[in-house]
Homo-oligomer: A and B are copies of this chain.
């Protein structure tokens, strides 16, 4: 299996899917859903910095694309659980790996930035 992308239309047709899983909150949200269903209120707390509105919007989009399911339990107070679909699980794990990488290389990136900015400043 080749890793490098082929030319042309493969990409343009993929843009909309990429825009979904690649947007600001979907990455973190999907990663959070690994390991089982999560309640809305749980995600609200664990997806750092997400606003109520954006969490809702993000979950709707993921649901629309068939990557998560939404289950309402009509108790009082109501309870809603979100869960990855089988198809959604693959990119979620991928994304979690990416986040793990980001965590591990935080220092490297910070140092690289500092160096870049310093050298740019000297000029």
Contacts and interface: CB of A to CB of B under 8 A. Distances in A.
A18 B28 contact: yes
Contacts of A97: 3, 94
Determine how many copies of this chain the complex contains.
2
12 contacts: A5-B32, A5-B99, A11-B47, A18-B98, A18-B102, A22-B22, A22-B27, A64-B112, A64-B113, A66-B108, A91-B98, A91-B101
Interface of A: 1, 3-5, 7-8, 10-24, 27-28, 31-32, 34-35, 46-49, 63-67, 87, 90-91, 93-103, 105-106, 108-109, 111-113, 115-117
Given A11-B28, A11-B49, A17-B106, 13 more contacts: A1-B100, A3-B97, A4-B34, A11-B48, A12-B48, A17-B102, A17-B105, A17-B109, A22-B24, A64-B112, A66-B116, A91-B98, A91-B101
